[in-house]
Structure 1
């Protein structure tokens, strides 16, 4: 595992509104950020995603559970913990990172199941999505 990815993981785990000032130490000016809700580029846009997270959620934080990397590309598994409507929430996912020659992130692509981990928790929409998931899944075969 490349040392730069350990530094990036530590930055994510200690992320606060104050540490957003150091986002340019982590992301390149032309960074691309993609997740189930966003597809944007540029340092200001990346900073805005994290600021929005702090503005809308209570006690958001990341816990990195695994890192696999070489010098310029890495994958980080994480749990995103926060409170919403006085309930503890957890979203688990993985991020693909690509670094430039200076070791800054030029591509940040999140992979996580928004349907199961967010939308299915919404009362009416959740019931529809859970029914759809059951309809599309393979039936268990008991032997």
Structure 2
């Protein structure tokens, strides 16, 4: 059975992200379309150069950032990927590693990702790691669970 270009692209995405680090960010150019549009809860970035610059700044400011890919699903030119990001930042939670669960919706054009939308809880990633706000958010979540 021949694999579709989208299946191949998803495999390349998984391989690239599981090996991604500050020293190999140029590998992103092999899987993304020059007109990539990237959206997450805090950003919207257009164009490959701006996208790679975003990752460069991300890796410059963190102690460590790794992605663990869990599941993938492909439907035509669309793919969905679930993942856990392991993130350590010196100013968040005393530099401890934080786990953020997320999902990416990838749209392919000519075998490359032209649209990448990440879904994750920004509060889990950022706000809960801040001293005062974090305690308040944890208290609110506890109260909502009662």
Q: TM exceeds 0.5?
A: yes
For the pair 1:89 / 2:98, whether they are aligned, the reply is yes
**1:7-46 aligned within 5 A:** 7-46=12-51
Whole-angstrom CA distance in 1 between matches of 2:53 and 2:32: 13
**Normalised by the size of structure 2, how large is the TM-score?**
0.83
Q: In structure 1, what is the Cα distance between the partners aligned to 2:124 and 2:23?
A: 32
5+ unaligned residues in a row in structure 1: which ranges? none
Specify the alignment match of 2:111 in structure 1.
103
CA distance in 2, matches of 1:22, 1:83: 22
Alignment: residue pair count: 137
Between the aligned partners of 1:55 and 1:12, the Cα distance in structure 2 is 17
Which residue of structure 2 lines up, in the alignment, with residue 121 of structure 1?
129
State the shift of 1:123 in Å: 1.3
Distance in structure 2 (CA, Å) of the matches to 1:73 and 1:132: 36
Structure 2 CA distance for aligned equivalents of residues 109 and 123 of structure 1: 29
TM-score using structure 1 length: 0.85
User: Structure 2 regions of 5+ residues with no counterpart?
Assistant: none
Aligned mate of 1:80, from 85, 93, 96: 85
- 8 Å Cα contact 2:34-2:48 kept in structure 1: yes
For residues 1-52 of structure 1, what are the alpha-carbon distances to aligned partners after superposition, in whole Å with 9 as ceiling and x for unaligned? 8232111111111112332223222111111111111111111111012111
| Structure 1 segment 48-67 matched on structure 2, within 5 A | 48-67=53-72
Q: Does 1:130 find its partner at 2:135?
A: no
